[in-house]
Amino acid sequence: MKFPVFLFREMCILPPMLTLDDRAWQFLSGPYGIDESLPEAIAGLKAAYSKELLDDIIWERIYHQNTLYENTFAAIPHLLELVVDSTDAEMQLDMLCNLAVLISEDYNPPLRDTIPAEYRDNTNVTPGQIRSIYNDYLLALEQLPALCTTLLPVARAGSEEDDKTYFLAAMAVAYGQRAFARVFIRYNSGEEYIAHCEACGTDTFIWPKEDRLLCFREDPAFHKEQEAFPITPHPDPTPSWESTTITAANSYAWGYHVLSQLDMPTLKDHWPYLFGTASCPDCGESWNVFESILAGM
């Protein structure tokens, strides 16, 4: 499926970014130290898209084991520019979902002139340059809502709920809900969740059974004969979405709205349980399921 590039050009304003010939790249560390050839690799990707090269850049050179690096923030605007410029909707969707994984791990305040924690030991780049890199990164992220809106029909047409879960996470990232996104990136298959009880410090395994979720003391994969503990589902099983701003307080209704648009019946059935309440099997403390899943990450 193809979308003409002007659809993105009309909806997205390309931000400034650290040019690929800027000397600052020589002082931006990645997973394995300074990667002076990264600008050349990005330029090569822009000249001739390659899935293999994209994966190398994202998963080996700017991100590793849930960790962002100095060069991550400089590279992401260039990769988003590639998404905007492309007319291949499947490639755009793949890149968007991949980049959402990285952006969800950004714990820095999304405020202009922030110096990210990843730069705390960098004395070779001036504070002004660092602020400029992060400002350009934040400007690039402003394109995400328009990209998600345009690519939603492509995501809906997919057959696998696992893939659609990544798009749900990408949409959450687009609207600033990074913690929400991390849950569905980590548990994209929906086959298991781990909730943490802050009262007693134990973890509870949450597994699906038909159209509901249940709690278990031990991992059911290894302890099949054990008592299951119920989850009380959210009292509103079909919430309506009437807001324009997504917050932690209304993410339940927003998520249900997106699931309906994406045609995700399994996760939609489990949704009231994910946002329901349960009692810790060990200490009996009552907790909100989704908040406890967040606490376990």
Whole-angstrom distance, CA of residue 269 vs CA of residue 275: 12
What residues make up the domain containing 231?
193-295
* 37 lies in the same domain as 118: yes
Query: Looking at the chain, how many residues does it have?
Result: 297
pLDDT at 238: 93
pLDDT at 200: 96
Residue that is last in its domain, among 139, 160, 186: 186
* 247 lies in the same domain as 166: no
What burial letters (b/e) apply to 7-24, b meaning 16+ CB within 10 Å?
ebeeebeebebbebeeeb
Residue that is last in its domain, among 139, 166, 186: 186
- Average pLDDT in the chain: 92
CA angle 129, 134, 138 (to 5 degrees): 145
* 122 lies in the same domain as 46: yes
* 13 lies in the same domain as 125: yes
* 125 lies in the same domain as 200: no
Residue that is last in its domain, among 158, 186, 214: 186
pLDDT in tens, 64-123: 999 999 999 999 999 999 999 998 999 999 999 999 999 999 999 999 999 999 999 999
* 51 lies in the same domain as 22: yes
* 236 lies in the same domain as 125: no
Number of domains in the chain: 2
* 87 lies in the same domain as 16: yes
